[in-house]
Structure 1
Amino acid sequence: MSTAATPGTAQRDIAARLERLPMSRWQIGVRLIVGIVTFFEAFDQLLIAYTLPVISREWHMSTSAGTATLTIGSVGMLIGAFASGWVADRVGRVRVISVCVALTALCSLGMALCTSLLPFLVLRFVQGLAIGGEVPTAAAYISEISRAGRRGRFVLLYEVVFPAGLTVGALVAAWVIPHWGWPTLYVCAAVPGLVAVVLQRRVPESPRWLAARGRHEQALATMADIERRVSAATGEPLPAPAPATTAVAEPVRRGGLRELFTGRYRRRTLVLWTLWFVGYLANYGITSWLPTIYRGVFHVSIGQALWYSTATSAAGLIGCVIAALVVDRLGRRVVLAAGLGGTTAMLVVLGVIGADSPLKLIVLSSLAALFNFAVNISLYLYTPELYPTRSRALGCSMGGVLNRLGLITGPILVGLVYAGGAHLDAVFLLIGALTLVGTIVAAVFAEETSGRTLEEVSP
């Protein structure tokens, strides 16, 4: 066997051995540990939307300062997502996730102690770096330990923890802020720092990544350890690996940004970037301003504004669960196109009939969130499938960059058009027009990946 052929052989061996693993407590346990981390990253991400009405009054903030507070974390997330892909493809998935979650927790504690805006913004930016790095890296990792069969459900039931974190964050915020103040909320958000230690010790590195990096002995040893754990969890011997049906036609190459725009990956990258940007622009553009809209337009109390906004987050969580249950049966393209189409329809209706009452805004924004969250969570499944192991984390992180660009652009766009409520209908129509573009892109250009191994989809 030639030296050049060895990496490809190792990758085929690892892939075949992962594909034969039955579902067991081991996979569920790993998904749970990484899921707890992602849960609290989501919890941290949206807390600013619920604390903004309080700290803006406490620190006498202007509208521009409020916009900066909403977006500074997203700027950090953008940079963190951009950097994490290169780092995770070179030093490993688990190490990057552990460092990011520890940094997130430390920043939360620091934010709880802030008494003025500037240090708060600095810590929020650093925390954004960590959140932006952890989320796409974790998505790549979970995909790499998954089998082709029902991979959609396995990955998305993990990814549901992110919108669950958003929803729980909203619920906790609605209760904690009126009773114990906003700093208590950030103390609660520091909990995942403890999980970083468990993660580093209990979760093995991705054997697919080890093989792709040429660390064959370590990849095989890690794979053997995983097999022992799965066999012990099931109490039965493992079936023999199926013969590899996907051949690697060339020696393993080092991935890079250029590869994302080469051959089959060029179209995939353009489609994914469009969907990431549009999906999260719609998501954060609406949800980040909802508490302020309820307060400024309908003059409800802080407590009511927070509870009303929670209904939208809860509806989004339901949409994520529905996506997880149907994505393998309907396919990725149908879920993405239908979700964006539904989001468009709800926003257009909201823009045409007008948000002239809190009830109307709650119902229609919640329905829009149900469809929109289903799309956004599915992108965490779809993106890792469309890139090879050598550049999977980079592909995911670049999707995260467009995600963060959407998160940044959404609140700014809404802030410019909103004008204190005078042009609220125009906000919904504008975002609906953008999600319509995403609907067309998903329906016409998205490639179906359901039921295929990662190596088959992305050699």
Structure 2
Amino acid sequence: MLKWGGVARPVVPELRLIAVAGVGWLFDAMDVLLLSYILVASAAELGLGVWEKSAVVLANNLGMLIGATAFGRLSDRLGRRAVFTATLLLYSLATSATALVKNGWELAAVRLIAGLGLGGELPVVASYVSELSPPERRGRNVVVLESFWSLGALAAAAVAYFLFPRLGWRTSLLLLGLTALYAAVIRAALPEHKPAPRGAAPVEARRLYPVWYIWLALAFGYYGVFLWLPTILVRERGLAEVQTYQFMLITTVAQIPGYLTAAYLVERIGRRPTAAVFFLGSAASAAALIYSADLPQLYASAIALNFFNLGAWGVVYAYTPELFPEHVRGLAVGTAGSAARVGMILGPWLYPAAGLYALAAVPLLWLAVPAAVYALPETKRR
């Protein structure tokens, strides 16, 4: 055991910590983003129109909203690793169950259960890696952890592009349930870490309010655009289904340099200026994507959006755990995750309710984020 911040912490090699936690993060991202491809692949068989798809997305996001706060608080009491493994098992088994659904209502019910685990894992793992990383590399480590999201996004696109046409979406999802076996790796490779209880939970509201806005705005835009992007490319731009999968696979690669740039900048110039740069870049590239006139412009704006927006996610995940004391960190980060799920619920309704250009609300929300960031303290190496 080592101590920093007056708290005893298990000794874990940093590479192992990031790699093992990161693969769990990858599986979470793959499952979340695979939903957009499932909605395209299963639409004809399950009779899913735009509103039926919206109901499935809503159920998934409600599950994530509940799971973020509930499992975040449980991790403060039961330990980070225990809740990490429980959430991974929950969404992995629910993914397999998705292969058995017969209609849109059953799909919505299964995705509600999957969402509980998906929403619960992210704040718990971010807090865990933050707590077990030395202060001088804490921000970098959490952004690198978040970079596994891009690998999960690539995995989701690859599953849709390579497996769905060959095996069918049902068999593919049944096989993905094997990610449940990874729980055994987590238990063998990582130690438990449970914060020492300190009585009441004095989470400062003056920090929570701007944090909630940042997470809500980020998720509102990300899921409002990315969950519908395959459908938008098919319906609005006339791309074939396979072309759409190819587009998503190519543009998603830009997430990796976005994360790596953010990981460098959070320790070099600080959390707040890095967040401001990446949110302003996200707003500009989202506006360009919405108003793109041809395929080259679509590719260029989507690459820029993947770079800036996923980098912004990395900064936010690194910054948020540092703003709250350890004994309530799971709860605080969990409520931030729940605020994100509110955005995740509201954002995807923009396109089906009001059409493509209603998505212009997304860059407007992101333009206000730097002001919220600068209402919070800088935490670099503190």
Give TM class, smaller chain: over 0.9
Further displaced range: 302-311 or 27-36: 27-36
Cα distance change of structure 1 residues 322 and 43 upon mapping to structure 2, 3 Å threshold: same
TM-score, normalised relative to structure 2 = 0.94
Q: Is the 8 A contact 1:283 1:369 kept in 2?
A: no
Deviations 1:175-221 (A, max 9, x none): 21222211233134323211112222332112xx34x22xxxxxxxx
Cα distance change of structure 1 residues 95 and 318 upon mapping to structure 2, 3 Å threshold: same
For 2:7, the equivalent position in structure 1 comes to 14
For 2:308, the equivalent position in structure 1 comes to 371
State the alpha-carbon separation in 1 of the partners of residues 47 and 264 from structure 2: 46
For 1:175, the equivalent position in structure 2 comes to 162
- Aligned-residue sequence identity (percent) comes to 29
Q: Rg larger in 1 or in 2? A: 1
For 1:109, the equivalent position in structure 2 comes to 96
The answer to whether the aligner puts 1:65 opposite 2:2 as a matched pair is: no
The answer to whether the aligner puts 1:253 opposite 2:253 as a matched pair is: no
Instruction: Please list, as runs of the form range in 1=range in 2, the aligned pairs for 1:181-330 lying within 5 A after superposition.
Output: 181-206=168-193, 209-210=194-195, 212-213=196-197, 252-255=198-201, 259-260=202-203, 265-330=204-269
> Cα offset for 1:13?
4.6
> Cα offset for 1:350?
4.2
> Cα offset for 1:296?
0.6
TM-score, normalised relative to structure 1 = 0.79
**Paired letter, 1:185:** S
State the alpha-carbon separation in 1 of the partners of residues 376 and 168 from structure 2: 46
Which of residues 123, 140, 144 in structure 2 aligns to 1:136?
123
State the alpha-carbon separation in 1 of the partners of residues 233 and 4 from structure 2: 53
State the alpha-carbon separation in 2 of the partners of residues 292 and 400 from structure 1: 26
**Paired letter, 2:191:** P
State the alpha-carbon separation in 2 of the partners of residues 163 and 103 from structure 1: 22
Deviations 1:411-453 (A, max 9, x none): 11222121xxxxx3x23422111111113322x313210011x
State the alpha-carbon separation in 1 of the partners of residues 66 and 270 from structure 2: 32
For 1:405, the equivalent position in structure 2 comes to 342
Cα distance change of structure 1 residues 202 and 309 upon mapping to structure 2, 3 Å threshold: closer
The answer to whether the aligner puts 1:27 opposite 2:20 as a matched pair is: no
For 1:7, the equivalent position in structure 2 comes to none
State the alpha-carbon separation in 2 of the partners of residues 414 and 82 from structure 1: 28
Q: Is the 8 A contact 2:221 2:347 kept in 1?
A: yes
> Cα offset for 1:253?
3.2
> Cα offset for 1:105?
1.3
Q: Is the 8 A contact 2:130 2:139 kept in 1?
A: no
For 1:439, the equivalent position in structure 2 comes to 370
Cα distance change of structure 1 residues 294 and 136 upon mapping to structure 2, 3 Å threshold: same
> Cα offset for 1:330?
1.5
> Cα offset for 1:369?
2.4
Deviations 1:272-298 (A, max 9, x none): 111111111111111111111111112
For 2:40, the equivalent position in structure 1 comes to 53
For 2:380, the equivalent position in structure 1 comes to 450
Deviations 1:80-139 (A, max 9, x none): 012112211111111111111111111111112223222222111101001111111111
State the alpha-carbon separation in 2 of the partners of residues 178 and 86 from structure 1: 41
Unaligned runs of 5+ in 2: none
Further displaced range: 100-109 or 354-363: 354-363
Q: Is the 8 A contact 1:312 1:369 kept in 2?
A: yes
Further displaced range: 190-199 or 300-309: 190-199
For 1:225, the equivalent position in structure 2 comes to none
For 2:69, the equivalent position in structure 1 comes to 82
Paired residues in the alignment total 380
**Paired letter, 2:321:** P
The answer to whether the aligner puts 1:386 opposite 2:379 as a matched pair is: no
